[in-house]
Structures are given as C-alpha cells and as structure tokens.
Amino acid sequence: MRFEFSRHQDGPAASSFDLGDLRVVVDSADVSSAGHRPSRSMMIYLGIVQLVDGLSEVAEGNASRFLFVGPDSSFSLNFQRKNDVLTVTAGNALIGSASMSDVLTALLSGISTFLKDPGNELAVNEPVAEDLEATLRRLRGLVGSSR
C-alpha cells in the first residue's frame, strides 16, 4: 500500500488550509482525489491529521472501521479492519487490503515524503502545525510498536 500527498502551490509558503490531493495505491489498483470535476481536492494538512487520527483509532482497537472524508471535499475512503487486515474501498470499489502494520508504515512514509519537500513544510505559527506534529508523533509511536 502506498499513500501519496500533494499540495497545490498557492504561494511561496505553505498554509494550514492549502488544498491538495491524496492518492492511495494498493497493488495495481488506486484511487485519487485529483482530476475530478467538480474538484475533490481537500485541505491537505487537515486531511493528513484526520487520516492519521482515524487510522490510529482503528490500529489501537478503538474502532474497526473509519470513513475518511477529505476536509472541504467530497472525496472519501472507507477503511475496515478484520483481525490484522485493513481493507480500503472507495464507494463500492475495492481498492485493496494490507496488514495494519504495513498500512501504518506506508502512511508514515507517504507523509514523510510529502513533508520533506521544503515547499510543503508548515511554519510553526500555522494553526494546524501543532496538530500535525502531535498526530505524527502518535503515528510514529504506532509504527514503532508494530515492528
């Protein structure tokens, strides 16, 4: 499983409420918020926080499913866990399945790749910066404990 995040370049510095897209790839199937009319792009930083928080709840056993709806978007993904396997669907279409630990590792990798781009770094005074850092600490902890 692979998570890819992108930000629409609206200005020289990233803003907490910038729009962007999410793509999820499992084997040969994929789904993306990009390329739809009307647009399904989302507030990407809020989307990352929401996605990590929801999948963390599933990984911690507090929920068996999570419906992700991109902030300010109609793009949605349904995640359902059975035992240690997480299945991803978009509407009625099966995207694929992977172990919970593989999903968490892939999510952390995708976010890390996105944030390595200096243009995608949020300034510490941005409204979502603290939430993003807290949710990434939570995800790193889950990835570390699943190894």
**pTM of the prediction?**
0.95
Closest to 131 (Cα-Cα) out of 71, 60, 67, 46:
46
How sure is the predictor about 10, in pLDDT bands with cuts at 50, 70 and 90? low
Range of the domain at 80: 2-145
Q: Minimal CA–CA distance to 69: which of 104, 98, 37, 42?
A: 42
Task: Provide, rounded to the nearest whole percent, the portion of the chain with pLDDT above 90.
Answer: 89
Does residue 12 surpass a pLDDT of 90? no
Domains of the chain: total? 1
- pLDDT tens figures, 52-71: 999 999 999 999 999 999 99
The span from the CA of 38 to the CA of 69, in Å, is 16
